[in-house]
A and B are shown apart, each in its own frame.
Chain A
Amino acid sequence: MPVLEPLVPKVLTVRRLPGADPALLRAYGADPERHRALGLVTVDQDDPTYVALDEATKHAAVDVVYARSFYAGSRHASGPLSGEILGVLAGEDPAEVDAGLDALLQTLAHDACFYAADAGGNIAVFPHVIASLGHYLSAQAGLVAGTPMAYLVAPPMEATIALDYALKAADVRLVKAFPPPTETNFAAAWLTGELHACEAAAMAFAEAVVDVARQPRER
């Protein structure tokens, strides 16, 4: 497999609950006063799904009420439909939830994905640039909706080395770092700045991950 080949996420389940029970709504963080319909997905890649859920909030009147990664990632899933993440969109109107799911699925199919950082496809890197944050990730990051953000993920060593490269490559600011171990045992970081700076930082991150993959030991 050539280096930096896209690893397209697999959507394992997409289900809808047009009129979910109020108790269920509350349990998953929704507000029965404002939300009635749910759209649920499981996917085998968590970070592209967080990006896709955020994308959905830009296209429809939906909120991301629940999104959690599963422990140790999709290779250790509880079942063939579990994947690595369960994401839940909630809205007042089932049609809005459908529109949100459309945006989410399109983002997963055509946009956000991990890339192989080595020829074997065993090391994955996620150097994604969001040009304009929706209201889900902007709230998580404490940024204003509409801000650009680089969403960077790689395994622990690769991510740590590459984050240093990314921060030095452009005029960006570290918004939030997720040092290992996370649920999936990856490490991640969110950077913000001007869009071109976020893009330069993300590409420096990807390049550094490839470099660590090529030369894991300096001595």
Chain B
Amino acid sequence: MSAPLSRTRDLVAALRRQLGEDDPQPPRAPLPPVPLPPERVFPSPRRRSRMAEAAAAHTTALVGIGHVGTRYATDVVLQFQAELAVAHGAVAAELPDGWAEARGYVPVRSRVAHHREFLLRPDLGRRLDEPSAARWSAECRKDVDVQPILADGLSAVATMGAGPELLDAFTRECERKGWSVGTPVCAKFARVWLQDEIGELARARVAVILLGERPGLGTGDGLSAYLVYGPKRGNTDGNRNMMSNIHARGTPPVDAARRLAVLVHLMLEQGTSGVSLDLAPRAAELGEAARGGYRAPQARSRLVEV
């Protein structure tokens, strides 16, 4: 290793000449040779070992990324930091006031007062605050088949991105099947279970909440949808069906809307949801999602070029 030396010795040598000392300072001891940095084991992301290639084809996890000495390579570290920054940015984002009104949704909010409280108190995010509950009761269409709800969840970035597109596509699917659809509503500082209270007030048969999902590395734009038959406070996660990874690199919103409508159809037919819902009758319509088994992993997008 070579420490960059300070200029102090040169400055003192100059001062010494200035003070009239003619003889130069003794020569400095030679610096030791600088050892070469360790080799990168996989020299580039495009030339990996065959085993690493095969493993990476099965997962988006960071496998087969090689190493330099005992550390990660610079491009791997930068990519990781960039992906983490995307996730942090998504969690920190807030739905701006007026966003819902501008799109014609009824704006409601949970009992959470501010963003930090939203992250720390999931319980408060599951209940409507009183003015919102009153407004929603007054303005919503009652006794509907399906109540769609758009919400920020843990990524307002995702909601503001593909949220309206997903909501519109889902509403169209439902109307095409002849079901009555509730007034579009947009909830701020919302957790999944808020769908129970909103759906209960609208006396909906099925409530569907579309919200930004907890961001992962490099995916701050994913939406999830949670569906519950007979929304009422006290429902648990066992009563819900869900679909995640609704974004351009996962399930595109248009495909997602179609599959969500199939799930709603099953719920209306069977009068239940969650673990007791049988997906088999419409497995063909659900497509590959219902079959389970192997699915190719999503491609990672490179955020950093080195």
- Write the residues of chain A forming the contact surface with B, with a CB cutoff of 8 angstroms: 2-6, 8, 55, 59, 95, 99, 102-103, 106-107, 109-113, 115, 127-131, 199, 202-203, 206-207, 210
Mark each residue of chain B from 2 to 40: 1 if its CB lies under 8 Å from any CB of chain A, else 0.
111111110111111001010101101101100000000
Which residue of B6, B23, B70 is within 8 Å of A111 (Cβ)?
B6
Closest to A129 in B: B8
Chain A CB within 10 A, most for which of B8, B9, B28, B29: B8
Q: Which A residues are in CB contact (< 8 Å) with B28? A: 110
- Write the residues of chain B forming the contact surface with A, with a CB cutoff of 8 angstroms: 1-9, 11-16, 19, 21, 23, 25-26, 28-29, 31-32, 70
A110 touches B21 (CB 8 A): no
Closest to A126 in B: B8
Which residue of B1, B8, B21, B70 is within 8 Å of A112 (Cβ)?
B8
B7 touches A110 (CB 8 A): no
B16 touches A111 (CB 8 A): no
A111 touches B9 (CB 8 A): yes
A82 to B75 CA separation, bound complex (whole angstroms):
45
Q: Which A residues are in CB contact (< 8 Å) with B70? A: 95
Closest to B10 in A: A199
Which residue of B5, B11, B21 is within 8 Å of A202 (Cβ)?
B11
Which residue of B1, B4, B15, B26 is within 8 Å of A206 (Cβ)?
B15
A2 touches B3 (CB 8 A): no
A205 to B137 CA separation, bound complex (whole angstroms):
79
Q: List 11 A-B contacts (CB under 8 A).
A: A3-B19, A4-B15, A8-B29, A102-B1, A106-B3, A106-B31, A110-B3, A110-B28, A111-B8, A130-B6, A210-B19
B11 touches A110 (CB 8 A): no
A2 to B4 CA separation, bound complex (whole angstroms):
27
A59 touches B12 (CB 8 A): no
Closest to A200 in B: B11
Give B221 Cβ to nearest chain A Cβ, in Å.
34
A129 touches B7 (CB 8 A): yes
Give B118 Cβ to nearest chain A Cβ, in Å.
31
Q: Which B residues are in CB contact (< 8 Å) with A8? A: 29
A95 to B25 CA separation, bound complex (whole angstroms):
36
A5 to B12 CA separation, bound complex (whole angstroms):
9
Q: Which B residues are in CB contact (< 8 Å) with A4? A: 12-13, 15-16, 19, 21, 25
Give B162 Cβ to nearest chain A Cβ, in Å.
41
A206 to B12 CA separation, bound complex (whole angstroms):
8
Give B294 Cβ to nearest chain A Cβ, in Å.
39
A207 to B70 CA separation, bound complex (whole angstroms):
47
A6 to B12 CA separation, bound complex (whole angstroms):
9
A2-B21, A5-B26, A110-B29 known; A207 vs B15 contact (CB < 8 Å): yes
Give A51 Cβ to nearest chain B Cβ, in Å.
8
B6 touches A131 (CB 8 A): yes
A113 to B19 CA separation, bound complex (whole angstroms):
20
A203 touches B15 (CB 8 A): yes
A110 to B30 CA separation, bound complex (whole angstroms):
8
A111 to B3 CA separation, bound complex (whole angstroms):
9
Give B260 Cβ to nearest chain A Cβ, in Å.
48
Give B47 Cβ to nearest chain A Cβ, in Å.
27
A202 to B133 CA separation, bound complex (whole angstroms):
70
- A4-B15, A206-B15 known; 18 new pairs, CB 8 Å cut-off, are A2-B21, A3-B16, A4-B13, A103-B3, A106-B1, A110-B5, A111-B9, A127-B11, A127-B12, A128-B6, A128-B8, A129-B7, A129-B8, A129-B11, A131-B6, A131-B7, A203-B11, A203-B12
Q: Which B residues are in CB contact (< 8 Å) with A110? A: 3, 5, 28-29, 31
B19 touches A207 (CB 8 A): yes
Chain B CB within 10 A, most for which of A102, A103, A111, A129: A111
A129 touches B6 (CB 8 A): yes
Give B256 Cβ to nearest chain A Cβ, in Å.
45
Q: Which A residues are in CB contact (< 8 Å) with B15? A: 4, 203, 206-207
Which residue of A95, A111, A199, A206 is within 8 Å of B5 (Cβ)?
A111
A55-B3, A106-B2, A106-B3 known; A127 vs B29 contact (CB < 8 Å): no
Q: Which B residues are in CB contact (< 8 Å) with A2? A: 16, 21, 23
A59 touches B3 (CB 8 A): yes
Q: Which A residues are in CB contact (< 8 Å) with B2? A: 106
Q: Which A residues are in CB contact (< 8 Å) with B19? A: 3-4, 207, 210
A106 to B4 CA separation, bound complex (whole angstroms):
9
A199 touches B21 (CB 8 A): no
Give B59 Cβ to nearest chain A Cβ, in Å.
28
A59 touches B5 (CB 8 A): no
Q: Which A residues are in CB contact (< 8 Å) with B7? A: 129, 131, 199
A115 to B9 CA separation, bound complex (whole angstroms):
9
Q: Which A residues are in CB contact (< 8 Å) with B1? A: 59, 99, 102-103, 106
